[in-house]
Structure 1
Amino acid sequence: MLDWTDRHCRFFHRLLSTQALLYTEMVVAEAVLHGDRARLLGFDPAEQPVALQIGGSDPAKVAIAAQAGEEFGYGEINLNVGCPSDRVQSGTFGACLMREPQRVADCVAAMKAAVSIPVTVKCRIGVDDQDPEIALDELADAVVAAGVDALWVHARKAWLQGLSPKENRDIPPLDYDRVYRLKARLPDLYVGINGGIKALDEAELHLRHVDGVMIGRAAYQEPELLADVDRRFHGVEGRMRQPREIIEAMLPYIEAQLAAGTPLSHIVRHMLGLYHGRPGARRFRQILTVEGASRNAGVDVLHRAMDTVEEIAAEVAAA
C-alpha cells in the first residue's frame, strides 16, 4: 500500500472502525536512519491501534528503525517480505527476501531484541519458481524460531520477473488453502491471511481457518466496508455510518492540516470512495479531485461535494 495508507488515510479510516488494526505504508529502514523521522513516522494518536510496516534486509538497520517506531508510539512493528515493487527489489528487500528465510529470521531476532512490542512479518506464499509448499514453510519455521509474534500471508506468489507490481496483485492465482495448511501445521502461530478479500462475508469464512484477515485495496476503494467491522468482529457498535457524518467528523482534522500547510488534495484523495455505489458518487469524486486540487482549496469543497450528492440522491428518489 505504498503511497496509500499515509497518516491522512489512517485518520479517515479510524473514523469508520475503532477496533481494526491499521498499518502504515511501508517505510524503508534506511530512510528512518537518515531521514526526517517526524515526517516518516509521525502520526495522530487517534489512529491507534496502528502498526508500523518496515522494509529492509539489514538486521542492525531494521532493529534501529523498529526501536524508533516504538519510541513514536506504534503498537506493532511489521517487516514486509511481500512487496514486489521495483524500488523494493532494487533495495534487496520486500518479496525477494522470500528466497532468504534465514536473513528474514535474523531481522526478526534483531527487532525482537530491540523492542518490547510485537514484531510481525508479512510475506507471500513464494516467489517466481519457488514451490509454495516448501518456501512458505521454510520462511515460517525460520521466523518462528526467531520469535516472531505473527505471520501475515498474501495468499499468492509474487513474480519478480515478468509481472508489474499491479499485475502481481491480480495475475498469480490465489491459494487460500496453502495458508490454511500453514495454520494447521503451526497451530500456536498467529497466522493472518491477505489477498483478494473484498467483503466482510469473505473475512468471516477465512476466520474459520486462520486467526486474522487483512483487507487492503477493497477497504481503501470502498471505505464504508470498514464501518461494520467493529460490530461483526469485535462486538462493539460502530461510531458512525453515514458518509456525511464521517466527513463532518473529518473537518476539524482537515482544517488543522490546512492551517499547517497540507494541501487539501493530499487528504481528500483518500476519501474518494466514500459514496461508492450511491447516487452521486461519480460527481462527488469529480468535485474532490478537480476542485480539491486548487492551491487555495478549503473545506468548502467538501461541503459542496456533500450537498451535490444529496441533491442527486433526492432527484433519484423522486424519479
Structure 2
Amino acid sequence: MALDASSLLTIPISYASCSLGPPRNLPSLLKRLDAISTAGFTAIELSFPDILSFGATHLGHEPDPKNYDELCIIASEIKSQCEKRKLGIMMLQPFSNFEGWREGSEERKDAFDRARGWIQIMQACGTDMLQVGSTDTPMSKLDRNRIVPDLRELTDLLAEHNFRLAYENWCWSSHAPNWRDVWDIIKEVDRPNVGLCLDTFQTAGGEWGDPTTDSGLLEDVSKDELSKRFQKSLDDLTTTVPKDKIYLLQISDAYKVPKPLSPEANEEGLRPRGRWSHDFRPLPFHGGYLPVVDVAKAVLKTGFRGWFSYEVFDGGPDGKKQEADILAYAMAAKKAQDKLVIECSGKSCD
C-alpha cells in the first residue's frame, strides 16, 4: 500500500519532556520547553519526574510524590508555562507497575491510590490521556487473572472525566512485551477509551533487536528468517489494528551497545532491554540500527495520522554522555521527523 505523502504532513508532533538532554543530566524543564517549542513541536508528553523536579524549584522544597493537592498546583503551573510557549500537554506518563497485583494486597491499594492521584494531575495540567506501560513486576508477585479487570477498572475511572488510557508494550515487560500482547489485552478490556501507545523502540527492540547478543539481533533464527518474521509481525499490525485504536506512536532508535548486556536483571531488578532503553536511544538517522522506518510505515498503513512523539534517551553510543545542546537536539528531532515522513512515503531524501 502506497502512502499519500501529503497526508503525512498533517501528523501532529510531540516531544517527551523527560527525554531532551542527556539521560543523567537533564537541563531545567523550562529550558527544555523553550527548545521544544522553538523547534516546532506543538505538544509534550509530561513526565511525572518532571513534575517533581519542577516542583522543587517552583515551591522551594521537594514535593511529596503522594501529596496530590500540591502536585496539582505544580501541574497547573507547568500547563501555564506550556501555554506561554504554545505547547499542549498531549499525555501524562509513565504510569507503571499498575496492573495485576493480588486482590487485597498493599501494592494493589497503592496502584489505585496512584491512579486516582494521577487523574487529579491530568485535570490540573489539562491533558486527557494517561500512558500505562505493561508492568515489569515479576509475574511471581502478580495474579495474571487481575490484569484485564484492573485495566477495565482504570479505564472506567478515566472515563468519568472523558480521559483515555494509552497502553504501551514495554519490551522488557513480564507479561506483555510485544504490540500483539497489549493489543490482545486491549481487546479483552473492551472499553472505548483504551488504545495503543506504539513505540518504534519497543517494537523493533523487542522483536528484532537484542542487546545481549554480539550481533545486536535476536539469534534464535537466521537473520533472513528474523527479517521475515519481523515483517510478518508488522504486516499483522497493519491489517489487524484499527487506526482509531492507536493513540500515538513514540519515535526513537537504538544504538548497538558497545558490549553485550548481561541477560540477567541488574541490582535494581531491571532487565537488559530496560537498561538498553534508559541510555541508548537516539533519534532516527543518528547512529542507531533499528528498522524505525519499517515500524512507522506499518503504523501509517493502518490509516493512523495521529501523534508522532519523540521519546529518546540518548546517552551516546557508550551510554555515558553528560552534556548536549538541547536546542540543536530539538531542531535535529524536527529534521528527523521530516526525513522519517519522506522515507515512509517511499521517496528519497538524497
Give the TM-score taking structure 2 as reference length: 0.46
Task: Give the number of the structure whose alpha-carbon radius of gyration is greater.
Answer: 1
Give the TM-score taking structure 1 as reference length: 0.49
Q: Which has the higher contact order (CA 8 A, sep 6+)?
A: 2
